[in-house]
Structure 1
Amino acid sequence: MDGQENEERSAGKAAPRTAGRGRVRRLGVVLAVLVISLAGAVIGTLAGGRVHTDIGPFRAELSLTPSLEGGTTVDIPPLGALQLDSHDGPTHLTVGLGALDQRRTEALIDDPASISRASQSAVTDVRNGVLRLGLRTVGAAVLVTLVLAGLVFRDTRRTAWAGGLSLLVTAGSLGLAASTIRPQAIEEPRYEGLLVNAPAIVGDARRIANDYTKYAEQLQRLVGNVSQLYTTVSALPVYEPAPGTTRVLHVSDMHLNPTGWQLIRTVVEQFGIDVVIDTGDITDWGSEPEASFVGSIGLLKKPYVYIRGNHDSGKTAAAVAQQPNAIVLNNSTTTVAGLTIAGIGDPRFTPDKETSPAGSGLTKQVADQVIGAGDQLAVTVRESPKPVNIALVHDPASAGPLSGTCPLVLAGHTHARQVSKLPQVPGQMPTQLMVEGSTGGAGLRGLEGEKPTPLSMTVLYFDKEKLLQAYDDITVGGTGQAQVNLERHVVQNPKAGDQVPVTPTPTR
């Protein structure tokens, strides 16, 4: 009897222990399914939660990442990023604007009206891209979860539960984000990267937006009018370019203004330009993201000779050098279209400094640097096996030492057009200095005042002996000045450097 009672007591104690172990095991299975489901959803979102889509001329990438705060990041190279408090929920949307599509970009340049159509379709492009992104993310999350669960559990029922739970978590997260969308968030962005400087430089965002809308509308008409302008001035009796004339387009200080590229392309085509010369400050901050801005150089399909400005970094110069038609000069020479050109980059890199007149406000050390660059280039010009026709510096303050070494020096930096003769060295040839305005209208700085800074460039005409015979100053006016202005100057005596201005010819 005693043995039987002991056995019954042992069995009674084992039953609760077995039931407890069963509950713990079931709880462990539930937790494992939950962990696998969440891990699969996260891994699937990170691995598959991205799609590529076209937004206007851009090839954009949309991606989703897990996040406790939600929101949207819009990456806008080369300017930086905008942070938008667009929605709540455990998902963060990133819209990355990538490279420009060459075919669509050319279409926008050739037809300015298509810019408006592209902006109108951008919302639809983004909406369709986000919808595809959501479906792809859900599919990737479920697929990854099923694979993980199958490898871990090797049980069909548990694998199905994990997949279903992953579907519920992922779809629920996206649904929560969609239900909390705040369209007005785009009116209150947080700036990052180079865009941090935009509000301070530009001023009131709404006023600038209104002004720029008017400005862009006028520029679309003005760019188209450049072709009419060329037809008009080509009939002027004072100067007719002879056969064999070499046409050079001098641009400078683009400062990231994409409208400048539209104008350059139009002038290159309508004026039959042989060579484009850029005397620097093609960017604003010389950062790596800004390097994508120089991609439009290749669309010109003409030799593009460039020197670095004080807003351009070594990375900027390297990006320009990668363009198939670009030549970067840094205390060196090149021969293009029969012209021997020497150039040197600005010795400074001061992206955070405002542009100032040549030589003003410079410390002695900086002034020595700037003038020293001219001294270096003067040595290079004198030692050149071929006589140099044109010398390039960014700051006109570097031009002094080049007097007598070549007939023409081109510069920029001051955002103000100026033509003068350098002090002549006895017994040496006279040298003319031509300072260009800003082809980019001074970039964001140009929108700071009531009227945008005009876009400026110059067409130079060289005869068979590669001497300057005439030049056309082209100015695209700002807001309230719906005209393209061309002022032709004839160089009567290249050796003396005298010019006879012709009455400006406006085209409305």
Structure 2
Amino acid sequence: MDGQENEQRGVEGEERPATARRRGLALGRRGAGRTGRRRGLRAVGMTLAVLVVTLAGVVIGVLAGARVSTDIGPFQADLTLAPATTGSTTVDIPPLGALLLDSHDGPTHLTVELGALDQGRTEALLDDPASISRASQTAVEDVREGVMRLGLRTVASAVLVTLLLAALVFRDTRRTAWAGTLALLVTAGSLGTAAATMRPQAIEEPRYEGLLVNAPAIVGDARRIANDYTRYAEQLQRLVGNVSQLYTTVSSLPVYEPAADTTRVLHVSDMHLNPAGWQLIRTVVEQFGIDVVIDTGDITDWGSEPEASYVGSIGLLKKPYVYIRGNHDSGRTAAAVARQPNAIVLSNSTTTVAGLTIAGIGDPRFTPDKSTSPAGSGLTKQVADQLIDTGEQLAATVRSSPRPVNIAMVHDPASAGPLSGTCPLVLAGHTHHRQVSKLPQQPGQMPTQLMVQGSTGGAGLRGLEGEKPTPLSMSVLYFDEDKLLQAYDDITVGGTGQAQVNLERHVVEDPKAGPSVPVTPTPTR
């Protein structure tokens, strides 16, 4: 019995170490499995961390550094990139609004903010009409160069910020290098996608925000207007030459010979930002020996700060320039005009220039988003009363003037009525249609003539909408030694597609007889 028990114990003793070894091997395998899983999870977590840090670095880098300033034609522009869910472009034109373009695909949004006009480059455009066409061509190159610099700056900024952020988070060279490489791939890939899917035709189908919502109704089809204006710029030099020929012809006419002491006044109005108008004004000022230029308003379209640079050409005329504000001109516009060395801005006030005493008052409205309508049509009673009140204010100023007023200036002819009998001549604009009439007068009052000018800027871009573009209009007024109107020349330059300049000379036989009649129409080709 005892022998059998000892033998059994020996067998059990031999089995115990084997079982223990098997159990140890099983436990080792389970531990190795858990370690492998932990390592896998740790690798996945680290990969995700690198991805998160990379994306954060790219976003911060793009927002912080993806900005360049560049010149686009006469504009100073800021170009910025930002992450976005869909690719698009916004062209900001403060304070008018923005154009939204579906320009490309990819997670990038481009913003082009047009700033102030560079006065030197703007004056160069105005002085040389052919440079307008060249500027439209170089603007594309300007944009392309600016976008290329913006792309390089964006990649550099995104990679640099990602490297710095990864170095702070991981404190590991290899992981920092992976994050930087990944940032380079993400940024370059996004910009490459945008470049590969660029749609240049998107500029023809913009969406508008702000005041520019009115742009489609105002300017019509952009491509047609651009084509029309290109043709107009090509015709401009020939038109200016025709104006010079007109002066040569008219000077020899026996109908009216200006005396040596004649004062010549050029009446312009409603320029509406048309650069072609300045070239014609300068030519007429030089060829006709103009002493004073009178502008009855609407020199701009929206009265915005970028437009203020347009009035810089006033100083180039080297002649006194008397101006009143129109309903498209803001107080900022009037201030810009007043800064010109030869300009005089009248606001219910008088001035004496070249022996002429002139009174003027600006339009009481500021309505840049409204189209022009003929005086008296479509006016509410409130607006009509406002315009008449403006005329009454100026009439009181004229009556209280220590010197007799020779010319009164209002923008809208609807303000002219109360001026009847206060002065011999009232000049106006606003309607874009030239008209001469005699104001109703009371018995014993002096006769007052109202001369409404057309648009010296051809109504700006509005003038290109119809089949018959609005012509450019201005008039030369001749005053004798007593500062009474003796004659005037109406100059009309055909609109786009109409290479024609006409001049009609009118002689005022008797200032008390009312409106004159045309005597010698002199057309040119």
Q: Do both proteins adopt the same fold according to a TM-score greater than 0.5, normalized to the shorter chain?
A: yes
Pairwise CA distance, 1:430: 2.7
Does residue 190 of the first structure (1) align with residue 196 of the second (2)?
Answer: no
Does residue 146 of the first structure (1) align with residue 159 of the second (2)?
Answer: no
| Closer/same/farther in 2, CA of residues 67 and 407 from structure 1, 3 Å limit | same
Distance 1:472 1:394 in 2: 21
Moved over 6 A (4+): 8-25
| Closer/same/farther in 2, CA of residues 379 and 46 from structure 1, 3 Å limit | same
5 Å-filtered alignment, 1:426-505, equals 426-479=443-496, 481-494=498-511, 499=516, 501-505=518-522
- CA-atom RMSD in angstroms: 3.7
Does residue 124 of the first structure (1) align with residue 135 of the second (2)?
Answer: no
Distance 1:137 1:269 in 2: 52
Pairwise CA distance, 1:465: 4.3
Q: Secondary structure at the match of 2:403?
A: coil
Which residue number corresponds to residue 234 of structure 1?
A: 251
Which residue number corresponds to residue 165 of structure 1?
A: 182
Distance 1:305 1:468 in 2: 18
Distance 1:161 1:244 in 2: 86
| Closer/same/farther in 2, CA of residues 61 and 364 from structure 1, 3 Å limit | closer
Distance 1:402 1:465 in 2: 20
Does residue 400 of the first structure (1) align with residue 417 of the second (2)?
Answer: yes
| Closer/same/farther in 2, CA of residues 233 and 61 from structure 1, 3 Å limit | farther
Distance 1:242 1:166 in 2: 80
The Cα offsets for residues 385-442 of structure 1, whole Å up to 9 and x where unpaired, read as 3332221111212112112222221111222111222233444433221110112222
5 Å-filtered alignment, 1:5-16, equals none
Pairwise CA distance, 1:279: 1.5
- Which of residues 74, 78, 81 in structure 2 aligns to 1:61? 78
Pairwise CA distance, 1:476: 0.8
Pairwise CA distance, 1:222: 1.7
- Which of residues 346, 351, 373 in structure 2 aligns to 1:334? 351
Does residue 218 of the first structure (1) align with residue 235 of the second (2)?
Answer: yes
Q: Secondary structure at the match of 2:495?
A: coil
Pairwise CA distance, 1:456: 0.8
The Cα offsets for residues 225-261 of structure 1, whole Å up to 9 and x where unpaired, read as 3333334333434444444544332222233434333
| Closer/same/farther in 2, CA of residues 423 and 34 from structure 1, 3 Å limit | same
Q: Which runs of 5+ in 2 are unaligned?
A: 1-20
5 Å-filtered alignment, 1:41-440, equals 41-76=58-93, 80-153=97-170, 155-203=172-220, 208=225, 210-243=227-260, 245-286=262-303, 291=308, 293-300=310-317, 302-323=319-340, 325-440=342-457
| Closer/same/farther in 2, CA of residues 326 and 66 from structure 1, 3 Å limit | farther
Letter aligned with residue 479 of structure 2: F
Distance 1:289 1:109 in 2: 15
Letter aligned with residue 64 of structure 2: A
2:437/2:515 contact within 8 Å kept: no
Pairwise CA distance, 1:23: 6.5
| Closer/same/farther in 2, CA of residues 145 and 256 from structure 1, 3 Å limit | same
Using structure 2 for the length normalisation, give the TM-score.
Answer: 0.82
Pairwise CA distance, 1:25: 6.3
Pairwise CA distance, 1:30: 4.4
2:506/2:520 contact within 8 Å kept: no
Which residue number corresponds to residue 14 of structure 2?
A: none
Distance 1:506 1:78 in 2: 43
Of all paired residues, the percent bearing the same amino acid is 85
Pairwise CA distance, 1:199: 2.8
Moved more, 355-364 or 175-184: 355-364
Pairwise CA distance, 1:31: 4.4
Number of residue pairs matched? Answer: 506
Distance 1:195 1:20 in 2: 61
The Cα offsets for residues 141-200 of structure 1, whole Å up to 9 and x where unpaired, read as 223333444455555444433333322221111111111112332333323344432333
Pairwise CA distance, 1:217: 3.6
Structure exhibiting the larger radius of gyration computed from Cα positions: 2
1:251/1:276 contact within 8 Å kept: yes
